[in-house]
Structure 1
Amino acid sequence: MATCATGKNRTSGKHRRPGRFERTTARAAGVAAITATGVIGTLAAPALAAEPAAAPEQTGFIPVVAVGSTVADEIDAQAAAQEQSAYEAEALRKAAEEAARKKAAEEAKEKREAEERAAREAERRLLGSFVAPVAGSNLSTSYGTGGSLWSSGSHTGADFTAATGTSVRAVGAGTVVQAGWGGAYGNQVVIRMNDGTYTQYAHMSSLSVSAGQTVTPGRQIGLSGATGNVTGPHLHFEARSTPEYGSDLDPVGYLRSRGVAL
């Protein structure tokens, strides 16, 4: 049987221990393969694998924790509920303010209307009231007294005691229709009263109103005197159904029927 001159034949089917060169080559190839795949831990020596992992480096950054979708939904729901609650509270506050504003406006309106009603009522009472033509005066000559001093044969009015310069007042509300000289009546004022009757004030020393002027009860219309056909200072007062002479009414009864105590 022929043999190779450079080496011996290996027996077929037999295992033999690899040589030093073969072991070195295989180790190098294994390291290269492990390095390429990134798998290092499997080759670590037992002593090195058992070493504890190094503590994470303290960088100062707050660690980020991943939150599950359920927790995140709950947080969103709470935030939405808080926002809705704040919205409702603001709406309630605005509604309360609007209600308070409306209430204050209604109360102010009611107060204003009540004051206006009270003023109208006071004016109505005032315009409907009557006073004596001379405050604190007494009657000196009664209505209907007969004598030659009067052209009609009797006194057509009532005389009130009053020194010259005493204030003469409108007995009620009305409009002046005459103011000036009246012959035997001297300086006179005739007023159409609001109830349609007329009143006359005669023998005054001066007048303080003019025709067309409106007056209220107690308004001064002049000062008493002794002008015209008189025997001394006093106020001659008449009540009439018309502004003309001869339509006279009982002046005392006229005033008393309107609440004036004489």
Structure 2
Amino acid sequence: MAFMCATGKHRRPSRIKRSTAQVAGVAALATTGVIGALAAPALAADNSVDAVEQTGFTPVISIGDSIAEKIDAQAEAQKQAAEEAARKKAAEEAARKKAEALAKKEREAKERAAREAERKRLNSFVAPISDSYVSTGYKASSSLWSSGSHTGIDFHAASGTSVHAVGYGTVVQTGWGGAYGNQIVIRMNDGTYTQYGHLSSIGVSVGQKVVTGQQIGLSGSTGNTTGPHLHFEARTTPEYGSDIDPVAYLRSHGVNV
């Protein structure tokens, strides 16, 4: 025969049930960090439970205003700290990007300056004879030349005077050049050619790279000449007959003769 609780009358929950409810409440509050603050009210509720008529519902513990305010303040502080950390990180990232952009700009400026300096260096020209002058001009007429006119210019120079490459280039011809005597022909970096004739000595060889102002030989009086000097030509090809005005050529590269 089964026994059932009488209807219409509340039965007092057992000590086990009450304890179970309290443990559940404490566990729920553990995550808020206020177990210590709530422990005393929970025990007080347990001690007074015998004096209160039971309703059968799980008791609800109210949190005091001061504790709630502390929780809110803590949450607000955490929020502000997170926002401050985010602002600091954003500022650091912006500073890093700015520094990288500045470094890149400085690096590109240095590279441009280096390229410009190299371009100027490679395109720098000098006169083939230092401290000299043009003794015979371009296209001067005379029976001395088979073409009837001078295909280059002559620089006054005693025999054995240093002859310089007027710019950067590569030697393409050396040796005997008939009426030109001992000669050197250089292909310049801009694609033009320069020729140096009547040399007493040749100091470079075919295929050799030369730089502006480098000594390539010594002036003399070899070939068809009436005396020592340097015959200088500017050409569009390495061969005779492709001559251009050497004075205008040198002046276009910043050399006044």
Indicate whether the TM-score tops 0.5.
yes
What is the match of residue 139 of structure 2?
144
Distance in 2 between the 1:101 and 1:224 partners?
60
Count of residues paired in the alignment = 198
1:224 aligns with 2:218: yes
What is the match of residue 153 of structure 2?
158
* Cα displacement (A) at 1:206: 4.2
Deviations 1:156-183 (A, max 9, x none): 3211123455443333444332234434
In structure 1, which of residues 40, 62, 85 is the aligned counterpart of residue 80 of structure 2?
Answer: 85
Amino acid at match of 2:192: T
1:27-66 alignment runs, 5 A limit: none
Retained in 2: the 8 A contact 1:161–1:235?
yes
Distance in 1 between the 2:175 and 2:215 partners?
12
Distance in 2 between the 1:111 and 1:206 partners?
49
* Cα displacement (A) at 1:200: 0.3
Retained in 2: the 8 A contact 1:176–1:189?
yes
What is the match of residue 251 of structure 2?
256
* Cα displacement (A) at 1:184: 4.2
Amino acid at match of 1:81: E
Unaligned runs of 5+ in 1: 1-63
Distance in 2 between the 1:161 and 1:140 partners?
6
The two structures, once aligned, show a CA RMSD in angstroms of 3.2
What is the match of residue 127 of structure 2?
132
Distance in 1 between the 2:180 and 2:156 partners?
16
Identity %: 62
1:193 aligns with 2:188: yes
What is the match of residue 246 of structure 1?
241
Distance in 2 between the 1:206 and 1:93 partners?
74
* Cα displacement (A) at 1:192: 2.5
* Cα displacement (A) at 1:210: 3.5
Deviations 1:202-254 (A, max 9, x none): 233444543334445x2414132216224544321012232112333332233
Q: State the SS of the aligned residue for 1:238.
A: strand
Amino acid at match of 1:102: K
Q: TM-score, normalised by structure 2?
A: 0.62
Q: TM-score, normalised by structure 1?
A: 0.61
Unaligned runs of 5+ in 2: 1-35, 42-62
Retained in 2: the 8 A contact 1:203–1:224?
no
Retained in 1: the 8 A contact 2:204–2:217?
no
Amino acid at match of 1:111: E
